[in-house]
Amino acid sequence: MRYKNIKNNKVMNTLIIILLIVEVVVLFNYYKKYTQQIKIDNVEFAYEELTIQKDEIVKLNFTSVPEVSATKFKWTSDNNSIKIDNRGYVRGTEVGTGTITIELNNHKDTCKVTVVDNEVAFELENEKNE
Protein backbone atom coordinates (compact mmCIF):
# COMPACT_ATOMS: atom_id res chain seq x y z
CA MET A 1 0.00 0.00 0.00
CA ARG A 2 2.79 2.36 0.93
CA TYR A 3 4.57 1.71 -2.37
CA LYS A 4 1.38 2.53 -4.29
CA ASN A 5 1.05 5.91 -2.52
CA ILE A 6 4.66 6.80 -3.31
CA LYS A 7 4.13 5.86 -6.95
CA ASN A 8 0.92 7.93 -7.08
CA ASN A 9 2.75 10.91 -5.57
CA LYS A 10 5.46 10.68 -8.23
CA VAL A 11 2.82 10.56 -10.95
CA MET A 12 1.01 13.56 -9.45
CA ASN A 13 4.25 15.54 -9.13
CA THR A 14 5.12 14.76 -12.75
CA LEU A 15 1.67 15.89 -13.89
CA ILE A 16 1.96 19.13 -11.91
CA ILE A 17 5.35 19.88 -13.46
CA ILE A 18 3.99 19.21 -16.96
CA LEU A 19 1.01 21.50 -16.31
CA LEU A 20 3.31 24.27 -15.05
CA ILE A 21 5.49 24.00 -18.14
CA VAL A 22 2.45 24.15 -20.41
CA GLU A 23 1.16 27.20 -18.52
CA VAL A 24 4.49 29.01 -18.89
CA VAL A 25 4.58 28.28 -22.63
CA VAL A 26 1.00 29.50 -23.08
CA LEU A 27 1.65 32.70 -21.12
CA PHE A 28 4.86 33.38 -23.06
CA ASN A 29 3.07 32.94 -26.39
CA TYR A 30 0.23 35.21 -25.22
CA TYR A 31 2.72 37.90 -24.16
CA LYS A 32 4.61 37.60 -27.44
CA LYS A 33 1.37 37.82 -29.45
CA TYR A 34 0.08 40.75 -27.37
CA THR A 35 3.25 42.84 -27.75
CA GLN A 36 3.39 42.14 -31.47
CA GLN A 37 -0.20 43.36 -31.89
CA ILE A 38 0.78 46.91 -30.91
CA LYS A 39 1.70 48.53 -34.20
CA ILE A 40 3.28 51.96 -34.22
CA ASP A 41 4.75 54.02 -37.01
CA ASN A 42 6.86 56.35 -34.91
CA VAL A 43 7.90 57.29 -31.39
CA GLU A 44 9.60 60.54 -30.48
CA PHE A 45 10.55 62.34 -27.28
CA ALA A 46 9.30 65.89 -26.88
CA TYR A 47 12.93 67.03 -26.44
CA GLU A 48 16.38 65.77 -27.35
CA GLU A 49 18.00 66.93 -24.09
CA LEU A 50 16.75 67.54 -20.59
CA THR A 51 18.43 68.94 -17.48
CA ILE A 52 17.06 68.00 -14.07
CA GLN A 53 18.13 68.54 -10.49
CA LYS A 54 19.53 65.73 -8.41
CA ASP A 55 16.66 63.68 -6.87
CA GLU A 56 14.07 65.55 -8.96
CA ILE A 57 11.44 63.34 -10.62
CA VAL A 58 10.34 64.40 -14.11
CA LYS A 59 7.96 62.80 -16.60
CA LEU A 60 9.55 62.37 -20.03
CA ASN A 61 6.95 63.39 -22.59
CA PHE A 62 6.80 61.61 -25.92
CA THR A 63 4.48 61.10 -28.88
CA SER A 64 3.78 57.93 -30.79
CA VAL A 65 1.75 57.31 -33.92
CA PRO A 66 -0.75 55.97 -33.10
CA GLU A 67 -0.88 57.03 -29.46
CA VAL A 68 0.18 54.21 -27.12
CA SER A 69 0.37 54.11 -23.32
CA ALA A 70 3.83 54.69 -21.83
CA THR A 71 3.66 51.36 -20.01
CA LYS A 72 3.65 49.45 -23.32
CA PHE A 73 7.15 50.73 -24.18
CA LYS A 74 10.50 49.44 -23.02
CA TRP A 75 12.34 52.20 -21.13
CA THR A 76 16.08 51.97 -20.50
CA SER A 77 18.86 54.14 -19.12
CA ASP A 78 22.54 53.73 -19.92
CA ASN A 79 23.50 55.25 -16.55
CA ASN A 80 22.63 53.40 -13.32
CA SER A 81 22.34 56.67 -11.38
CA ILE A 82 19.62 57.93 -13.76
CA LYS A 83 16.55 55.81 -13.06
CA ILE A 84 13.56 55.44 -15.41
CA ASP A 85 10.34 53.59 -14.65
CA ASN A 86 7.85 51.96 -17.04
CA ARG A 87 5.68 55.11 -17.07
CA GLY A 88 8.45 57.43 -18.25
CA TYR A 89 9.37 59.07 -14.95
CA VAL A 90 13.09 59.81 -14.67
CA ARG A 91 15.07 60.54 -11.49
CA GLY A 92 18.75 61.32 -11.16
CA THR A 93 20.30 60.06 -7.95
CA GLU A 94 23.79 61.37 -8.78
CA VAL A 95 25.18 64.27 -10.82
CA GLY A 96 25.98 63.09 -14.35
CA THR A 97 24.70 62.47 -17.85
CA GLY A 98 22.90 59.53 -19.39
CA THR A 99 20.72 58.54 -22.30
CA ILE A 100 17.13 57.35 -21.87
CA THR A 101 15.77 55.14 -24.63
CA ILE A 102 12.10 54.42 -25.36
CA GLU A 103 11.39 51.46 -27.65
CA LEU A 104 8.56 49.36 -29.04
CA ASN A 105 8.70 46.99 -32.00
CA ASN A 106 11.96 48.35 -33.43
CA HIS A 107 10.83 51.98 -33.16
CA LYS A 108 12.87 53.97 -30.68
CA ASP A 109 14.10 57.40 -29.69
CA THR A 110 16.60 58.73 -27.18
CA CYS A 111 16.80 61.68 -24.82
CA LYS A 112 20.01 62.90 -23.19
CA VAL A 113 19.41 63.61 -19.51
CA THR A 114 21.83 65.72 -17.48
CA VAL A 115 21.54 65.67 -13.71
CA VAL A 116 22.92 68.74 -11.95
CA ASP A 117 23.39 69.62 -8.30
CA ASN A 118 20.67 71.86 -6.85
CA GLU A 119 23.01 74.89 -6.74
CA VAL A 120 23.87 74.54 -10.43
CA ALA A 121 20.17 74.24 -11.29
CA PHE A 122 19.48 77.46 -9.35
CA GLU A 123 22.23 79.28 -11.29
CA LEU A 124 20.90 77.98 -14.63
CA GLU A 125 17.39 79.16 -13.74
CA ASN A 126 18.69 82.63 -12.81
CA GLU A 127 20.54 82.88 -16.15
CA LYS A 128 17.29 82.10 -18.01
CA ASN A 129 15.38 84.79 -16.12
CA GLU A 130 17.94 87.54 -16.75
Domain that holds residue 85: 42-129
Beta strands in 46-128 (DSSP E): 49-53, 57-59, 62-65, 74-77, 82-84, 89-92, 96-104, 107-116
CA nearest neighbour of 116 among 85, 80, 92: 92
- Can you give the pTM of this predicted structure? 0.66
Residue 103 · residue 74 · CB < 8 Å: yes
Least confident segment among 16-25, 104-113, 116-125: 116-125
CA end-to-end distance (rounded Å), the chain: 91
Same-domain check for residues 9 and 55? no
Q: Report residue 18 CA to chain centroid gap.
A: 32
pLDDT tens-digit series, residues 51-77:
999 999 999 999 999 998 999 999 999
Same-domain check for residues 30 and 68? no
Q: Bigger pLDDT: 40 or 113? A: 113
Query: At 105, which CATH number?
Result: 2.60.40.1080
